[in-house]
Amino acid sequence: MINILLSVRRPFSGFIMDGEKRWELRKNAPRIPRGEHVTLWLYESGQYGTRGIIGKCRLVVTAGLRPYPPKGILEWTMNQACVTEEHLRNYLPCYVWGVQDPVRISTVPLSDIGMTRPPQSWQYLTDEQADILERRLA
């Protein structure tokens, strides 16, 4: 299993945890072997964020989105990613990360998994770091 720590600002972190936001937009994507399961751990970043790990979800798919998507795809992406058309157009090209099955946890500071600062976008976690976070679910 692959574990990734994903930095997400409010209000998008809440939208993911509420199941409203099913697509996260990123400039790059992890390399995932076929059939591998990926858990995304959400670090809530930003001025008004908790600045801690608030939950997890499953990464179900990643796909590239071109600078000029057809109108129907553009609207579908805006809806699934909870963003405006202006935001999306300014961010293209990008990758769509499909997220499902969010689970909230009590906020975990980065120091509990041996980190001093969050990733700018995302980073892989070690098995030991993921085990610490999994124990917080119990």
Q: If you ran DSSP here, which 8-state letter would residue 137 be given? A: T
Pairing of strands 38-45, 2-9: parallel
Taking residues 19-31, what's their average pLDDT? Answer: 94
Which of 41, 43, 47, 91 has the alpha carbon at shortest distance from 69? 91
The 10s digit of each residue's pLDDT in 64-114 is 888 888 888 889 999 999 999 999 999 999 999 999 999 999 999 999 999
Pairing of strands 122-124, 23-26: unpaired
In the predicted model, what is the mean pLDDT of the chain? 93
Q: Is the pLDDT of residue 138 over 70?
A: no
Q: What is the pLDDT of residue 64?
A: 87
CB atoms within 10 A of CB 2: 17
- The residue ranges of every structural domain in the chain are 2-63+96-135
Place of tokens 């990613």: 81
- 2-63+96-135, what's its fold? ph1033 like fold (3.10.590)
d(CA 42, CA 7): 6
